[in-house]
Amino acid sequence: MVVTRFNKPAESPEQLLVRLEARGLAIADRAVALAYLKYVGGYRLKGFWAHLTDPATKQFRAPTHFDEIVQRYEFDRRLRALTFDEVGRIEVAVRSSISNRLSLSYGPHWFIQPGLFRRSQEFSFGNMVKTIEDAVKRSRSPFINHYMVAYEEPCLPPSWGVSECVTFGFWSRTYQLLRDVDERKAISMKFQVDNHQVFESWLHSLVYLRNVICHHGRMLGAKFVIYPQQYKKYGVTFSDPHTFFAPATVISFLLRATGMGSGWKQELRKLFARHPAVAPAEIGFGSNWEAQSGW
């Protein structure tokens, strides 16, 4: 078998800027362009300019300005920040809802009762307890420290204390592993979703989206491999569930269900207006997205 060896040399930001200009990219402010190439990086910015080049020659289609690439990057960055904030609101609502429901049904330490959970190859009951133990050990919360000093049994804090330690992914898996379908439905109904399988997929997709955002993954043109199920009973459907529009609709639906209010739709509208060069269709938003069910 022939082995192809990577042999491209590294380039300084200054060298890359010269090469981009030679390929037809118009640069009005070299200082700004160099700052982005230095502190964002050419490889990352390439994701925002690749579609503006000829695939065969790598030349930029005229006229292409560096400012256009900056605007696309800034749109994506602001969208990630906005989304992270709203998913955080949902995470707190979900963990509170699960914790409250199960604490009232089975006591504050429901998570050490193995009979409540199904077996799973991906995440066992033992993994769940170990995850909580590790999170509690890492915690610097004064409430957790108080419990550990004041009480000897059980060896872990109650559910409402654990809620402050573990991740959104933990709550998504906990919901998935609950044995009692009625309990799962009771929790999902707090968010006006009467199909626990749909709700499970929504949680999973939002955990995935949050992880993508935390690793600075690109939203523009992204095709997400984990996506939410459609909720056809209430008309929540997506022409392409792999685009950002699908989890964005889920975010809207769940935030509205909490009754605490949200500026999600308004903030997205403002973001689109601030960056008119970016077509909403690039993240799956149609021209009538605000009229779609869920919004």
Structure confidence by residue, pLDDT tens digits, 207-228:
999 999 999 999 999 999 999 9
What pLDDT score does 69 carry?
Answer: 96
What share of the chain in percent tops pLDDT 70?
99
Strands in 7-55 per DSSP E: 25-26
For the chain, the average pLDDT equals 94
3-class secondary-structure state, position 25: strand
Identify the sign of the CA torsion 33, 35, 41, 47: negative
Query: Would you tell me how many other CB atoms lie within 10 Å of the CB of residue 150?
Result: 7
What mean pLDDT is predicted for residues 138-145? Answer: 91
The reported pTM is: 0.92
Asked if the model's pLDDT at residue 122 lies above 80, the reply is no
Q: How confident is the model at residue 127 (pLDDT cuts 50, 70, 90)?
A: confident
Per-residue pLDDT tens for 2-16? 889 999 899 999 999
Per-residue pLDDT tens for 245-265? 999 999 999 999 998 877 999
What mean pLDDT is predicted for residues 147-160? Answer: 93
What mean pLDDT is predicted for residues 10-25? Answer: 96
What pLDDT score does 123 carry?
Answer: 67
Q: Is 72 exposed, middle or buried (0-12, 13-18, 19+ CB in 10 A)?
A: buried
What mean pLDDT is predicted for residues 116-128? Answer: 80
Burial 109-140 (b: 16+ CB within 10 A, else e): bbbeeeebbeeeeebebeebeebbeebbeebe
Q: Is 261 exposed, middle or buried (0-12, 13-18, 19+ CB in 10 A)?
A: exposed
Identify the sign of the CA torsion 180, 183, 184, 185: positive
| Amino acid present at 104 | L
What pLDDT score does 79 carry?
Answer: 98
3-class secondary-structure state, position 295: coil
What mean pLDDT is predicted for residues 26-55? Answer: 96
64-65 and 25-26 as β-strands: parallel, antiparallel, unpaired?
parallel
Q: How confident is the model at residue 111 (pLDDT cuts 50, 70, 90)?
A: very high
Asked if the model's pLDDT at residue 203 lies above 80, the reply is yes
Asked if the model's pLDDT at residue 124 lies above 80, the reply is no
What pLDDT score does 278 carry?
Answer: 94
Tokens coding 192: 């006006």
Nearest Cα residue to 223 out of 239, 240, 211, 206? 240
Per-residue pLDDT tens for 68-108? 999 999 999 999 999 999 999 999 999 999 999 999 999 99
Identify the sign of the CA torsion 136, 163, 103, 130: negative
Asked if the model's pLDDT at residue 160 lies above 70, the reply is yes
Residue 227, phi-psi category: left (phi > 0), alpha (psi -120 to 50), beta (remainder): beta
Query: Would you tell me how many other CB atoms lie within 10 Å of the CB of residue 87?
Result: 21
